[in-house]
Structure 1
């Protein structure tokens, strides 16, 4: 594989706690790194591993992208389901509209039952388009480009009040007839008027100086604020561009690592084999309420892939079968599966899920790195989970490539095929 490359560290460290990275050794003796990945809104949690911390983080990012897609599907499903349920409560709808709602809810319920209990049929109908190109998918640089700051408005230019003039009526002496005859009296009134003008003009000059000084201060503050914001923005943009360019450069380095991994997989290198099939199973689409968490190991000597898979408990699976609208009672009626019906369907699920896993993994094994697959399905018992007890092994089955190839998954009975492969379902009663 060569030297490991630290790619996308600035991005991924923001997504995952680097201190949570740990080393471990698989039962077959492979030393690997693993990091916990959590998607809170889906209540998803699993460990992602690889032979280098960098590739473990890259795989964790791919897992996060897969869960993003699952989250969008769940939201669309809930939105559609809620729409029917809200419309069902309306009192202004006609009978035919109520019947249509019941039909729509039944369709959703039937789809969920099929996705939950007939997983083999769903898996066989899914395209097998997985290869190493999947590992060359990357999220866009997750940090948004800095937004141009909102600069403050420039202060309004100060308004200079009109300059007082000697000719203004307020400063003209009010002369009477006697003032025109008596020079001293006239001169006194003219002097008083001049003094009034000078006082007002002096006050005007002081106001102008104050307004000009205040405006200059406001402009200095404004220019300083704008310059600070502009410099900060430019620094943020430069830092963002440096980070993005580094991310793109590191992304290219990651592509080279993927190519090296692919070459190693073709040579049956155990770490590359585990990385390849780990993500192959991870991208398999199951309902959002399936745990779909697992770990893997690879027996190099015998070329056996070991899959330890957490099974969905029966209590987490849907029960609604149909919705009817009673025209006489003017109310909806929900028909749920009986306990016996659920038990039968759940038994089918336990038979089909490992068969689907075999199909999905053998189908994409272009290097023929797998001679056999050993599947163990674990269940968290309700009382055991509350007590913090580990899950119990409920399903165990192993098949080799030749036996799998000879099985007719499309037309055969899943329970019969499961039995022919020597599968075991352990009772949890």
Structure 2
């Protein structure tokens, strides 16, 4: 801190003998300097102190004023920066809103300019086996150090230790001389015996370490062979499973090339699911294919008006220090929404034809529906807003980069309500056939059972629908569907699951056996036969009891999964329900019912 200071003090004496006291003071901050003179030393110091106090006060005020000025400048700068940041945030939010709207306005062009995708190639598994093969060097590094035979030098009688120096007295006294030489000889003999004992001990320890070293080498080599064998088994299993998956994909791909309905639906399902739209768009598509007329019917969930962004701009109101959102008008939004939905219809049809390398399609029916709440009933409903039948030859003649989507849609004879945002339903030109003579209506059971219910005694019909319900929950997350077949009243159930996943999915046959006895190999053979006859990818057998070893042996290396009572209870618990399986209780009840009848 800068303060006033005394630089120098001295005394002068005039010719008349009068003493004068001099004091010079300085303040560097104020750039002040002063010399004080007085004949009285005390007075001179008081004057200097008073002057310095004045300077310090003046300097303090100056510093305070400068600090206040700096503080005001900092606050002003801080406020300016705050406002700039708020303006920047408003600009960024506006840019985001504009980008979001631009994506919607260019939905069709984005689809047209997307680089072609390898539809099936993305499904194959070409990954390397993750665990490296054991190498011998690693096990060699685990070997202990090779034992060495270490034997210290044998004592020599010529060593100086055993040849004492003889003094003058030793030389003239025969007794002293012989005593000294005899002591040295005894010391040599003692050291020699110790050396021999140590040599024998060293050899024994060396031989033992050699044996241990050899045994450790054998143990590590056997461990190496064991690890290599285990690695090879896991590697072969990995390759086998990888091949099974890839062969399954090849089979499904071949179904598409041969215009088989399941393969065609799977192929075009992947096309539509891999088409990039904003994250908030729904992703629900149902397909139906007729190989006779090569028509693909597409039921496609389009975004409802209430999830489409309306934000145009974010403004920062300086006077009120707040953000204000500017929304598009109803007229602007209605035009945007109509244009978007027509673009989605044209883009989907374009992508389906674009990726139809097997020429499976001659025509596409695109039905766009919205999932909403009926204001009259408060219940969920699906409303079709537009429907278009597009012939391949006619559609591919259109230059989609230059069309007005709505005009193009109307030119293709598509049907739609006057204003799509009003969600006024229209009748689709063609609809999915959701009926199959083998399938029956299903109902849910799981919510009605509790921890005390014995599944082995469950009504056979309820048991059928419980199995269907559980597997529907298993497959629904991936867009799968489970249909229950007409029951045979034999305590079993057949169901068919359709899983769109190209790797683990496909057509899956599900059979359940509400048994109290062990399930034998015959039931597993029956399931395998059904899988083959149906052209399914996999079969699943579920029982309330257990399986015999012959059943597991038959199922090995086949696309079959066997789930016993424990698996069934775990599956039930996984989806939030509890029950029990008491085989003994079920047998006694069945026996009692048989006696009563």
Give runs of aligned pairs for residues 26-425 of structure 1, distance below 5 A. 110-126=98-114, 134-135=119-120, 138-144=124-130, 146-149=132-135, 150-151=138-139, 152-167=141-156, 172=162, 174=164, 181-182=174-175, 183=178, 186-214=181-209, 216-233=211-228, 235-237=230-232, 240=235, 244=239, 247=242, 251=246, 255=250, 258-259=253-254, 261-263=256-258, 265=259, 269-298=260-289, 305-312=296-303, 338=327, 340=329, 343-344=333-334, 345-362=336-353, 367=359, 369-379=361-371, 392-401=381-390, 405=395, 409-417=400-408, 421-424=414-417, 425=420
SS in 2 for 1:284: coil
Cα distance, 1:408 vs structure 2: 7.0
SS in 1 for 2:144: coil
Instruction: Sort the Cα spacing of 1:374 and 1:199 in 2 relative to 1 into closer, same or farther, 3 A.
Output: same
SS in 1 for 2:367: strand
RMSD: 5.2
Cα distance, 1:198 vs structure 2: 1.6
Cα distance, 1:343 vs structure 2: 4.4
Q: Quick one: distance in 2 between partners of 1:320 and 1:198?
A: 104
Instruction: Sort the Cα spacing of 1:209 and 1:391 in 2 relative to 1 into closer, same or farther, 3 A.
Output: farther
Cα distance, 1:146 vs structure 2: 2.6
- For structure 2, the residue ranges without an aligned partner over 5 or more in a row are 1-86, 425-597
Q: Quick one: distance in 1 between partners of 2:181 and 2:311?
A: 110
Q: Is the 8 A contact 1:379 1:394 kept in 2?
A: yes
Q: Is the 8 A contact 2:383 2:423 kept in 1?
A: yes
Cα distance, 1:413 vs structure 2: 3.5
Q: Quick one: distance in 2 between partners of 1:106 and 1:117?
A: 16
Higher helix share: 1
Instruction: Sort the Cα spacing of 1:140 and 1:232 in 2 relative to 1 into closer, same or farther, 3 A.
Output: same
Instruction: Sort the Cα spacing of 1:316 and 1:400 in 2 relative to 1 into closer, same or farther, 3 A.
Output: closer
Q: Quick one: distance in 2 between partners of 1:363 and 1:349?
A: 20
Q: Quick one: distance in 2 between partners of 1:173 and 1:319?
A: 112
Count of aligned pairs: 317
Q: Quick one: distance in 1 between partners of 2:151 and 2:314?
A: 84
Q: Quick one: distance in 2 between partners of 1:319 and 1:230?
A: 68
Instruction: Sort the Cα spacing of 1:313 and 1:227 in 2 relative to 1 into closer, same or farther, 3 A.
Output: farther
- For structure 1, the residue ranges without an aligned partner over 5 or more in a row are 1-98, 382-388
Cα distance, 1:110 vs structure 2: 4.9
What is the TM-score when the length of structure 2 is the normalising length?
0.41
Q: Quick one: distance in 1 between partners of 2:302 and 2:103?
A: 15
Q: Quick one: distance in 2 between partners of 1:412 and 1:427?
A: 24
Instruction: Sort the Cα spacing of 1:112 and 1:145 in 2 relative to 1 into closer, same or farther, 3 A.
Output: farther
Instruction: Sort the Cα spacing of 1:221 and 1:237 in 2 relative to 1 into closer, same or farther, 3 A.
Output: same
Cα distance, 1:428 vs structure 2: 7.0
Instruction: Sort the Cα spacing of 1:167 and 1:270 in 2 relative to 1 into closer, same or farther, 3 A.
Output: closer
Q: Deviations over 1:296-339 (max 9, x none)?
A: 1236787653323344567876788679999x9xxxx9996626
Instruction: Tell me which of the two structures has the higher relative contact order, counting C-alpha pairs closer than 8 angstroms and 6 or more residues apart.
Output: 1
Q: Deviations over 1:87-106 (max 9, x none)?
A: xxxxxxxxxxxx99999998
Instruction: Sort the Cα spacing of 1:163 and 1:368 in 2 relative to 1 into closer, same or farther, 3 A.
Output: closer
Q: Quick one: distance in 1 between partners of 2:208 and 2:310?
A: 78
SS in 2 for 1:397: strand
Cα distance, 1:140 vs structure 2: 0.7
What is the TM-score when the length of structure 1 is the normalising length?
0.54
Q: Quick one: distance in 2 between partners of 1:400 and 1:159?
A: 89
Q: Deviations over 1:28-85 (max 9, x none)?
A: xxxxxxxxxxxxxxxxxxxxxxxxxxxxxxxxxxxxxxxxxxxxxxxxxxxxxxxxxx
Cα distance, 1:364 vs structure 2: 5.2
Instruction: Sort the Cα spacing of 1:336 and 1:232 in 2 relative to 1 into closer, same or farther, 3 A.
Output: farther
Cα distance, 1:373 vs structure 2: 0.6
Deviates more, 1:291-300 or 1:171-180: 171-180
